[in-house]
Structure 1
Amino acid sequence: MFTGIITDIGRVVSIDRDQSGKRSEWGDTRIVVDSHYDCETIAIGASISHAGACMTVVEKEQTAQGCRYAFDVSDESLDKTTLKGWSIGQEMNLERAMTATDELGGHLVTGHVDQIGALLTREPLAGSLKLVFSAPPELMSMIAPKGSITIDGVSLTVNAADKVSFSVNIIPHTAEVTTLGQLQPGDKVNLEIDLIARYVARYLSQMKDKS
């Protein structure tokens, strides 16, 4: 589990696609990332959120800047997230898995991306930055004003929502310490809806099937 509070920005060092399919039963793509984390505090098998997608550390080495580590990505994850379009030098929001003593500054985030959205517009507004995103219709029904949403791993509050889009406002600090401030119209983002909304939608769907 995560909180949606970003603790570092990582950068892709290499992407290795194993065409033989022999690397792993679950994934044939290995991505290596540079971070400022201390390798001694990251265990092999640890979970780290990459732009909102939870990945498992399979290799690591200490560098002058911090920790360089690798994770394998399944084809399913590539299809459902923006990781499929990553290239060398790509920057992403990082968050390590929360512990029982961590402050829950954002909201409960699973690291399981629901769908890919896209930035429609960005507009300076009263000292902050208003970002408007599109989302698939099946997700829009679960996005509500004043509710929580995770965008590229960042916990945010929805300001407004209609049938095809929603908006958030980010303060200068968030724009500076995450990749959201770099987004331009047309850029794709990973979306994870609030856990409560997910289960309410599931419950209502089952009730509808029974009626």
Structure 2
Amino acid sequence: MFTGIIETLGEVTALEKKAGNLNISIKASITPELKIDQSVAHNGVCLTVVHISGNIYTVTAIDETLQKTNLGGLTIGDKVNLERAMVLGSRLDGHIVQGHVDQTGTCTGITQADGSWIFSFAYDASTGNPTIEKGSVTIDGISLTVVDSGTNTFKVAIIPYTHEHTRFNTYEVGSIVNLEFDVIGKYVAKLMGKAVGSRQ
């Protein structure tokens, strides 16, 4: 379980393809505090630490993860949003994030707004994943509030701190991001869909 509050940025140092899996090695300031078998969210994807050497650790992404997220497009030198699993009893500063990416989305617009930025995103709405005004959404592991919600689009406002300390400063129109929709919203949408279907 995660909160969507990014701890630090990591840098991809090596990518090793093994059959359908991808071993991803990352240099990060939190590496000395990690241990084998620990869960870490990478751009919002929960992966298990399998090796540690100095300030570099390695995780393995299976083929399904590579197909459903933006991790398959990583290159050496890329920055990755990192968050360790939350500690039971600590403050939940973001929202409940599972580290299970629902789908990817595409950045469709970036505008400056008096010291902050408005980022627009589009996604395939046929999956039934909802956003609502002032609701929560996770973009590459970052807990954010939706400021404008459409059928298959939404916008978020990014403050300077988030822009500086996450991958948001690397995004451009066309960038592919990982999306995890609010878990409560997903359950409600699914239950409402079943309820409507049962009356037809």
TM-score bracket for the superposition, by shorter chain length:
over 0.9
In the alignment, what sits opposite 2:75?
87
| Distance (whole Å) between structure 2 residues aligned to residue 88 and residue 139 of structure 1 | 31
Residue 210 of structure 1: CA displacement? Answer: 2.3
| Distance (whole Å) between structure 2 residues aligned to residue 68 and residue 134 of structure 1 | 34
In the alignment, what sits opposite 2:57?
69
In the alignment, what sits opposite 1:44?
36
Identity between Structure 1 and Structure 2 (%): 38
| Distance (whole Å) between structure 2 residues aligned to residue 75 and residue 209 of structure 1 | 34
Deviations 1:52-78 (A, max 9, x none): 11100011122xxxx311111111100
Alignment of 1:29 onto 2:17: no
Specify every segment of 5 or more residues in structure 1 that has no aligned partner in the other structure, as ranges: 20-26
In the alignment, what sits opposite 1:127?
115
CA contact (8 A) 2:129 2:181 kept: no
| Distance (whole Å) between structure 1 residues aligned to residue 198 and residue 179 of structure 2 | 30
Residue 161 of structure 1: CA displacement? Answer: 1.1
| Distance (whole Å) between structure 1 residues aligned to residue 163 and residue 5 of structure 2 | 13
| Distance (whole Å) between structure 1 residues aligned to residue 67 and residue 34 of structure 2 | 27
CA RMSD of aligned residues (A): 1.4
- Equivalent position amino acid for 2:34 in 1: I
- Mean CA deviation greater in 94-103 or 149-158: 94-103
Question: How do 1:43-192 residues align onto structure 2 when only pairs under 5 Å count?
Answer: 43-62=35-54, 67-138=55-126, 142-192=130-180
CA contact (8 A) 2:105 2:124 kept: yes
| Distance (whole Å) between structure 2 residues aligned to residue 170 and residue 179 of structure 1 | 11
- Equivalent position amino acid for 1:44 in 2: I
- Equivalent position amino acid for 1:164 in 2: N
- Equivalent position amino acid for 1:6 in 2: I
Residue 206 of structure 1: CA displacement? Answer: 2.1
Specify every segment of 5 or more residues in structure 2 that has no aligned partner in the other structure, as ranges: none
CA contact (8 A) 2:14 2:26 kept: yes
Change (3 A) 1:51 1:80: same
Tell me how many residue pairs correspond in the alignment. 199
CA contact (8 A) 2:94 2:143 kept: yes
CA contact (8 A) 2:31 2:56 kept: no
CA contact (8 A) 1:49 1:111 kept: yes
Residue 88 of structure 1: CA displacement? Answer: 0.7
- Equivalent position amino acid for 1:130 in 2: I
